[in-house]
Structures are given as structure tokens and as C-alpha cells.
Chain A
Amino acid sequence: MRRPVRRRAPAALSAAVLLAALTGCGATAAEQAAPATLTWAVETQPITLNPQQWSQNKTRLLVFNQFDALLSKAEDGTYHPWLATSWTVSDDGLTYTLDLREDVTFHDGATFDAASVKANLDQFLVPGYNPAVAAIQLRSFGRAEVVAPYRLRITLKEPDGLFLDFLASPYAGQVSPESLKSAKDLKFGGPDLVGTGPFILDRYVQGQEIHYRRNPAYRWPPAGAAHQGPAHLAELTYRFLPEAAVRVGALTSGQVQVIEGVPATEVALIEKDPSLALRTSLNSGTAYYYYFNTSHPPFDDKRVRQAFREAVDLDAVLRSVYRGTATRAWSVVGRRSPFYDASLENSFGGDVAKANALLDAAGWTGRDAEGYRVKDGRRLTVREVASAPYVRDRRDVLAQAIQAQVKQNAGIDFQVRIVDQGSAQRALDEDEYELFGNSRGDADAGAALNLILPAKAAINRTRFADPRVDKWLADASASSDQAARKKLYARAQRAVVAEHAVVFPIYVPADQVAASRDVQGLGFEPASGTPASAYDVRIGT
């Protein structure tokens, strides 16, 4: 149950600025005087604190405080050491050999070694532990063997280029095997699920806060960290403040030092305040886009799908809904992903005359009393069904803006229904929808495409099938050659966006973090674009 919870897209910020934010403070880090405490207000409560049950993009920043993964992933999609110092993949792509750090201990004093990694991997095979991960991310996992105290051999059932992505994800957060057995609430995690991370979770009060203290023994940060050794902060509190105005007020009044989830309406206020700094990062994974359901009229006709895209002046819509802070999307894949195909930019949208010509050609020539197009006595109606808990970034308002545009510009009746999860699921199961909006937060966009595009994909909401696309994606999944994968994913993107027009890319979700100026070292995870853990964060100049 992955729930990428994400925010509004910002004005484009170059990666260089983000990198500067991440690494710029390295030199002075060691000079910091007294260890400090920090309070950070977050919008979303974690559904679980067990990294292996992780499901919300927004809780990545919590996971990596308490747990370390085996590998880390850079923004360009390459993998780097973390708890594993090196790894080799056999020529047939079936055997992975990992060499592990020998100086790592869990918070409970247990030694981290090949046996503990094996225990973590085997935990996923326990029935009911995490069915979704077992069936998707770990579907090719065969077995893990301890070949030496710090060397592990993993055998896959079939080649899987995304297996390294799993090893760099929160799911590969290493948990002390003892605590996997003894934790009171294994699936929920909490203080008695023990990791190796830079902070030790010592208090969780549902609805209020989560509190960490520094792990004084920590000296195994991932490649790319701005410093070595224990974290700068002695204590760290994340306070849950779901209401955006309250988060901003708490920050401006100095009651918290950092907030995430800055609403577009408050961006100007924060930018004007000299004591505050705003940092923004586009998320990785997929853009937010509308899936056109191609299984029945009217979107079984490519011309109608194209007409819908042409009928919307998306730049104007995004400007009015997000006050200029959103980044327009041109592909299924987000702009930040290394697999993004930039050749699709400016290839569609905003041509009202073309929209009307396409609809005329498709036979939607009549008009009814309310001005909507009609064909054979049926109105050109398309329905969007959205599940209320997953509506974020004011996507309901966005839909209303698009609704007004397609009505005015092309006579399309776009109906938006926001319902509970059960009703939404039923509409999807029974094919009672024409439009579906979604974005995914996977660090590797390829993982998301596998779930969305193939004919038999788990969440193929377009109901579109193209054997070529299936083949490209399968080949890309089996390969660990980034350049080859990029080419294959580019073909898939061009097929669904340009050639068949089965999706309508809208904007690239982003995360915003606002902080008091004296908070240094706040950054974003290179691979996902979501706020990073507090390991490098410090207070001072």
C-alpha cells in the first residue's frame, strides 16, 4: 500500500542549488559548538514506523533517521555504498554478492553482519508480513546465504534490474533481528524496533510528536553525506501539525525551527521574511497526470483524448491554482528522474482550435442546450473518480479549473467525484470512470512504470495495452545498464504520451521545507527528492 503523499510543485529550482544546500556546510560542520535540539513540524503522521512496512513518501524523512539501508542512490540513478561497502552482480544477473561494513552496531548493541541482513530479507517471506512488497519489489528474490561473517550472497529467480533499487529503499532499512522477533507491534514499529541509524527513536505520541536522540556510536553515513561521525543534533522532535496555517504560524513565531509542506499561499510570506529560508525540490517518480481510460467511449478514440489535452491551457490553470509555484509536466516520468524524456516538452496542449477540429472529426458535432457536445444523442461526458484521502496538493481545485476549461473551450462535460476509498475502488474495479489522476513517489521511475503501463500491470488504469511497451519495460527491468534503461523508458514514454495520448501529464509534485535561517544542512534525498533525514542538520552559522 504505497501512499505517496506529496506537495505542490514549485518554481523550477536547479539541482545545483539543492546540492549546495546539501553539501555547502561540510566545512564548518566540525566547528559547531554545543550539540543542539531541533523541532520540526510535519504535516503527515506515519501510518507505521517500521521501514519494511513503509508506505508514505512523506515519512521517508523519518525512516532514515532511525534506519540505514544497504545502498544509497544518487540523483543520476547510480548506486553507492552504505551499510554494504561493495557489491557484484553475476553475468546472468541472478547472483548478487554484498560485502558489508564490519563496524556497524544496532542501537540495542547487536552486531550488524551478513546474518542480520539475511534475517531482514527472510522476514519478507513470512506470510502476511508485507504482501505488496513480497509480490512486487521482491518477486524475483530467491534466497540469501551467509558466505562469510560480512559477506552475503543473494540469488534471484530471474534477472531484476530494480533489485538494487530495493536495496537502496526504505524497505532495505536494516532492523536488529532480535527486535524483529521481540517487537511488541512488529508491523507498526516504534521504539522497540531497533535500527542502526544516526538517531534512536525514544518516544512516539500519536497525534502529537515523535522524538529521537542522537546515536553517539554512529559513524556509517551513506556516500554523499556532508559529514562523518554522529549526527550534529543531540535531540530531534517531529511535531505533527496537520493544519498548514498553524505550521507556518509555529515557524514564524519561533516555536518550531523547520516545517515541511509549505502551502503555495504562504510561499511569498516566507520568502519575504529575512529570518526564514525556503527550500524546494521536485520529487522523483512519476508526475501527476490524468490516465485516460481507453476501454470504452469516449476515450477509446485517440482523437478525443488528444482533444481533451488541447482544450486545456495548462500553464494558465497551474498559474491560477498554484500561484506560479508548480512545475508543468510533459511526461509520465517526473522531470527530476534520470529517465525523463525531455523531447516531449511542448509537444501537446493548449490548442483550442485543434481540440475542436479533433472532436468534429471524431463525430462529436452536435451541441445540447447547455453547450456540451453530443453524438448520437449522448453527451460528451467524462468522469473522474478520486479517493478523498489521496487528494492532496489542492488537486480538487485543479480539477475544477480543468473542468471549466474543457467545458468552455471544447464543450466537454468533465465530472469530478471525490469519494471514499471503497467507492473509488469499486468505480475502478467496475470500469466506471473515464479519468483517473495519480502520481507515484518511487525513487526509480521505472518501478512506477512497471505498475502502470504494461497490459497486465497492477494499477493499469488506462486499460491500454501495447505489446511493444510491455517488452521495453520488461527489458529495462531486467537490465542494470542505466543508459540502456534510459533509452527503453524514453521509447515507452513517447509511446504513451505522444503516439497514443493515453495520459495527460499535468505537474511534477515537489516538497517544500521552510526553516529558520540558522538551521543548516537541510536537504533532500538525491534519489527521491523528498526531505532528507536530519543527520546533516545543525544549528549555527
Chain B
Amino acid sequence: MIRRLGTGLVVLWAAATASYVALLLAPGDTVDILVGDGPDTPEIRARIVAEWGLDRPEIVQYLSYLWRLLHGDLGRSYQAQRGVGEILAGQVGPTAQLTLAAAGTGVLLAGVIALATAGRGRWARGVASAAELVAVSVPPFLIGIVLLSVFSFTLGWFPVSGAQGPRALVLPALALGLPIAGVLGQVLRGGLEHALEQPFAVTARARGLTERALVARHALRHALIPAVTLAGWFTGTLLGGAVITEILFGRPGLGQVAMQAVTGRDMPVVMAVVLLSAVVYVAISTLLDLAYRAIDPRIRT
């Protein structure tokens, strides 16, 4: 566990440094970004350089950046001129809500569909995999627009925007969760069907185990391993998809903050979001390790 923690810290330091170097290598200097497309006079530039401490050597700026990070100080946003930590603090909650709801929706839908169709007739399988294919291949943006048009603008069942109450979470969670359900459903069904053809399944059936009990007690365990591996991939999809989903639905969250920061080249915010993603990634992969151990006894030591 201590080794894992050490690896995690190295990953975080690498992420912090990589984003810092990327900033250095990016075209145009920081002063240009702070000036924006407004009046650009030597006087204004001099004031900005002094205010942001941009006249110090780059290595000094890098070390002081790391030093501040160690103290939990994420710096100040160029655009909003507020503390980055404060900007992110209000946004983590809504994004966590959205991504968890989306992941839950995806896993639940995939599980239900896979269990209902694995090893069943060609017709049921065909419909399910066609639906999964659509969910995977249609961009979340389009799914979101369609969901909004039908369930919000036409039927009026759900509000278009905001993070007030669970009702406002339904459509965004669906828009973000459907592609996950698509991929996961296919993998899970494939795994289940593969497991059901294994010798142990034949043995179990011979012992008089019902098909239902076989799937639930034995096959599912085998099918889960590749599905759990995919969870790492979800993390990326969810964070990326959250950007589009949050903007489309007018929800607060890290996605729209990241989007604004990238288009405005607000580097302190961009770097903080990168770091946060790294933290989440490290946390998720640790949890996955634990999950493997729970699912597959062979990994336990």
C-alpha cells in the first residue's frame, strides 16, 4: 500500500511538471495571454509582469509553483483573478454527482441488458447490440440534444439546466451514461457467453444448477474482470464527456471550468484540472486493484 502511495505521488508530480513544461513550450508568453486582445502598451505589460512575478527566472517560478502546490495553494486564475482552489471547490461536487450518476446509469443499464440477453435468442441479442452500437457511436452531444428535445422541450418532464434537485440530473446522467452502457453491455454479454461455454459451466449444469444461478454465481464473476478493467477507461470518458454535457445542460462543474480555462489559456486553472484528473485516476486505479482482488480469488495473496 505504501508503494502504491509512492507511485501515486510520482504520478502527481509528473502531471504537475508536464503541465508546467507544456505551458512554457506553448506559443506566446504569459503576458500576452494576460493582456488578451485588449490595449497592449509597454506600461500595461510592465504592470502585469510585476503583478504576477513573471520577471523571475523560469526555474524559480517552477520551484515556487511546486512549493505552493505542496501547501495546497493552486494559484490564481488569470481570467477570473480569484484563487483556483476556490473556483474548483464549488465545481467538484456537481461534477462528482454527474459522473457518479452517469457511471451508475451505465453500469446498471449494461448489467440489466447483458443479463437479460446473454445466451438468449438471436432476436433479443440483435436488438440489444444494435442499441448498444448506437449508444457508443453517437456523440454524447447529439444524445444530449435529442434527450433535451424530447424529454425537456417537448414533454416537459425534466428541466433543461441547473443542478437543483435529482430531476435535473436525469437527462445529463443519461446522456453521459448511455455510451458507457453501450460498451460495457457488449463486453459483459461477451464475457458471460464465453463463461457459459467453459467446462466449469457444463459441470455446474450437470450438478443441476439452474441457468439463473449459474449466471449469477459463476459466470458473472468471470465476465466482470474485463468489465472492471474498462472502468479505467470510463474515468477518461466521464471527465471528457462531462465537459460537453455540462455545457449543453448549463450545469456547473469542472467540465465547463476546464473548457473556459482552455479557450482562455487560463493556465493555473488548466493545470489544477489536470492535477485533479491525475488524483482521480490514481484513486480509481487503486480501487480497481482492490476490486480485482475481491472478484478474482487467484489474485489474492
In the bound complex, CA of A419 to CA of B29 (Å):
15
Which residues of B, 102-146, contact A by the 8 Å Cβ criterion?
145
Interface residue from B79, B161, B265 paired with A208 (Cβ < 8 Å)? B161
Q: A209-B162, A420-B27 are in contact. Are A240 and B250 (CB under 8 A)?
A: yes
In the bound complex, CA of A249 to CA of B257 (Å):
24
Cβ contact within 8 Å between A1 and B37:
yes
In the bound complex, CA of A286 to CA of B295 (Å):
66
Which residues of A, 112-152, contact B by the 8 Å Cβ criterion?
127-128, 131-132, 134-136
Main secondary structure of the interface of A (DSSP, over half): mixed
Q: Which residues of B contact A253 (CB under 8 A)?
A: 152-154, 156, 160
Cβ contact within 8 Å between B51 and A207:
no
In the bound complex, CA of A457 to CA of B155 (Å):
55
Which residues of B, 9-57, contact A by the 8 Å Cβ criterion?
26-29, 32-41, 43-44, 47-48, 50-51
Q: Which residues of B contact A389 (CB under 8 A)?
A: 263-265
Task: Please tell me if B190 contacts chain A, counting CB pairs below 8 Å.
Answer: no
Contacts between chains A and B (CB distance < 8 A), count: 166
Cβ contact within 8 Å between B28 and A421:
yes
In the bound complex, CA of A3 to CA of B260 (Å):
14
Tell which of A47-55, A261-269, A288-296 binds the partner: A47-55
Q: Which residues of B contact A131 (CB under 8 A)?
A: 43-44, 47-48, 51
Cβ contact within 8 Å between B82 and A127:
no
Task: Please tell me if B239 contacts chain A, counting CB pairs below 8 Å.
Answer: no
Nearest A residue (CB) for B163? A208
Task: Please tell me if A206 contacts chain B, counting CB pairs below 8 Å.
Answer: yes
Task: Please tell me if A342 contacts chain B, counting CB pairs below 8 Å.
Answer: no
Task: Please tell me if A316 contacts chain B, counting CB pairs below 8 Å.
Answer: no
Q: Which residues of B contact A1 (CB under 8 A)?
A: 34-38
In the bound complex, CA of A389 to CA of B261 (Å):
10
Nearest A residue (CB) for B162? A208
Residue interface mask B207-233, A partner, CB < 8 A = 1: 000000000000000000000000000
Q: A3-B37, A421-B36 are in contact. Are A128 and B51 (CB under 8 A)?
A: yes
Which residues of B, 73-95, contact A by the 8 Å Cβ criterion?
79-83, 86-87, 90-91, 94
Q: Which residues of B contact A187 (CB under 8 A)?
A: 80-82
Task: Please tell me if A422 contacts chain B, counting CB pairs below 8 Å.
Answer: yes
Task: Please tell me if A401 contacts chain B, counting CB pairs below 8 Å.
Answer: no
Task: Please tell me if A388 contacts chain B, counting CB pairs below 8 Å.
Answer: yes
Cβ contact within 8 Å between A132 and B32:
no
Q: Which residues of B contact A421 (CB under 8 A)?
A: 28, 32-33, 36-37, 264-265
Cβ contact within 8 Å between A420 and B47:
no
How many chain A residues have a CB neighbour from B under 8 Å?
54
Q: Which residues of A contact B252 (CB under 8 A)?
A: 205-208
Which of A134, A239, A255, A388 has the largest count of B CB atoms less than 10 A from its CB? A255
Task: Please tell me if B282 contacts chain A, counting CB pairs below 8 Å.
Answer: no
In the bound complex, CA of A157 to CA of B65 (Å):
41
Q: Which residues of B contact A390 (CB under 8 A)?
A: 37
Task: Please tell me if B148 contacts chain A, counting CB pairs below 8 Å.
Answer: yes
Cβ contact within 8 Å between A132 and B44:
yes
Residue interface mask B232-255, A partner, CB < 8 A = 1: 000000000000001111111100
Q: Which residues of B contact A53 (CB under 8 A)?
A: 81
Q: A128-B51, A253-B154 are in contact. Are A207 and B256 (CB under 8 A)?
A: yes
Cβ contact within 8 Å between B90 and A246:
no
Min Cβ gap B81→A in Å is 4
Cβ contact within 8 Å between B251 and A132:
no
Cβ contact within 8 Å between A425 and B32:
yes
In the bound complex, CA of A261 to CA of B284 (Å):
41
Min Cβ gap B41→A in Å is 5
Task: Please tell me if B61 contacts chain A, counting CB pairs below 8 Å.
Answer: no
Which of A48, A134, A253, A426 has the largest count of B CB atoms less than 10 A from its CB? A253
Q: List 21 A-B contacts (CB under 8 A).
A: A1-B38, A45-B260, A47-B79, A185-B82, A188-B82, A205-B90, A206-B87, A208-B163, A208-B252, A209-B250, A241-B160, A241-B161, A246-B250, A253-B152, A389-B263, A424-B28, A426-B28, A426-B32, A438-B37, A458-B39, A458-B40
A241-B250, A250-B152, A459-B38 known; 18 new pairs, CB 8 Å cut-off, are A1-B37, A2-B36, A48-B81, A55-B38, A135-B44, A188-B80, A207-B251, A207-B252, A207-B257, A208-B161, A209-B162, A239-B161, A246-B250, A249-B149, A250-B160, A389-B265, A421-B33, A422-B27
Query: Nearest 7 A-B pairs (CB), nearest first?
Result: A422-B28, A187-B81, A1-B36, A207-B252, A425-B32, A458-B39, A131-B47
B-side interface residues toward A, CB under 8 Å? 26-29, 32-41, 43-44, 47-48, 50-51, 79-83, 86-87, 90-91, 94, 145, 148-149, 152-154, 156, 159-163, 246-253, 256-257, 260, 263-265
